[in-house]
Structure 1
């Protein structure tokens, strides 16, 4: 199995070095580079391919969220794991809405970082327990350990957003370049994972997490 290639992005050299030490000790992980200016990331990727970008949320010039949005357009196969010191649920929901694959507080330890990298490598999303607890505090109906958010794949998130934006099955298939039966399969999986029985339930979930504008 090929190593998962990580590109680290932070404007503080001490944090970059710390991340390199922590993440570099994870089995089957290769640190392919460190960047202290997020404006350089796209150019760097032409020289140094990466599977996952671990990026500080509050980068100057181009924020982590802005970078994640750019990468969804130019390098949709690359996953973005955002790290932050701030416990701001509005920003968390915005990161979820624009499609960041993961979101963690910087105080997270090596074990949780490893869980995140493994999840993203498997095509899953990952939000640290601290993040899920913050979201749950705003909605008593959510149980942090059982929220379905982290179980959704990137493609399921794409389908969910388009459903919430009132796209019909055929439109979703055209926009995502997939077949109608594939859209229907994603729809069934979404209902199962979200524990809902209708499109209305999916839309309510999407609105709760800020997945639609």
Structure 2
């Protein structure tokens, strides 16, 4: 079995120890390095070229979104899963826009972290369910609103769902058995109807309406 090589980046040694103990029980993961600051993480990622970086937002030595941008530029093949105490929706949006492949809070169960790691390595976007559920609950507590998806065709809804799961246009085309140009057209119409202009807008929409899990 080919193991996923993991770089564990967190400035708290006790947190790293707990995550390391969890990962060491799994046959499909191997920790190849640990770091405690943004600068150490950038250097270690360059030297080790890990498959997956577990990235804490509170590390000293650099602004998180800039560090993620740097890591994505430097390590194109590395997936980045943010593992943090922060569950603020705006922070989630910013980290995804910076290039993170997933976002999960530290308060989740062990199995959720492992699921997040495997989902990200499978090419899927993963956001902790608690964030989406909390955001959806806040929205639901307000006055009833029009269903934001009611103007979308069934095919546009399918494309939206797959985009929110991290699929590329080509992967969606393969899944739905249509051409890439058709997917691009569905995506363009869907974005226009939802008044979305960018990938980060799309991710924020998914979080706000409880569509990402």
Fold-level similarity (TM above 0.5): yes
- The equivalent of 1:171 in structure 2 is none
Does residue 151 (structure 1) correspond to residue 165 (structure 2)? The answer is yes
Query: How many equivalent residue pairs?
Result: 179
Query: Whose radius of gyration is greater, 1 or 2?
Result: 2
- 1:29-68 per-position Cα deviation (integer Å, ceiling 9, x unaligned): 0111111122012221233220010011122122433221
RMSD over equivalenced CA pairs, Å: 3.1
Query: How far has the Cα of 1:22 moved from its partner?
Result: 1.5
Alignment-derived partner of residue 187 in structure 1: 184
CA shift at 1:201, angstroms?
Answer: 3.2
For 1:108-127, what per-residue CA distance to the aligned partner results, in whole angstroms no more than 9, with x for missing partners? 11111111111111111111
The change in CA–CA distance for 1:203 and 1:142 in structure 2 (over 3 A counts) is closer
Change over 3 Å in CA distance of 1:111–1:36 after alignment to 2: same
- Relative to structure 1, is the Cα distance of residues 21 and 151 closer, same or farther in structure 2, using a 3 angstrom cutoff? same
Asked if the contact 1:23–1:110 (Cα under 8 Å) also holds between the matched residues in 2, the reply is no
Q: 1:91-118: per-residue Cα shift (whole Å, max 9, x none)? A: 1111122221000010111111111111
Equivalence for 1:70: 70
Name 1:201's counterpart in structure 2: 193
* Aligned position for 1:117: 117
Task: Give secondary structure in 1 for the equivalent of 2:58.
Answer: coil
Unmatched runs of 5 consecutive residues or more in structure 2 = 141-146, 150-157, 170-177, 206-213
Q: Which runs of 5+ in 1 are unaligned?
A: 157-180
CA contact (8 A) 1:101 1:120 kept: yes
Cα 1:25–1:209 change in 2 (3 A) is: same
TM-score between the two structures when normalised by the length of structure 2: 0.71
For the residue of structure 2 that corresponds to 1:86, the secondary structure is: coil
Residue 84 of structure 1 corresponds to 84
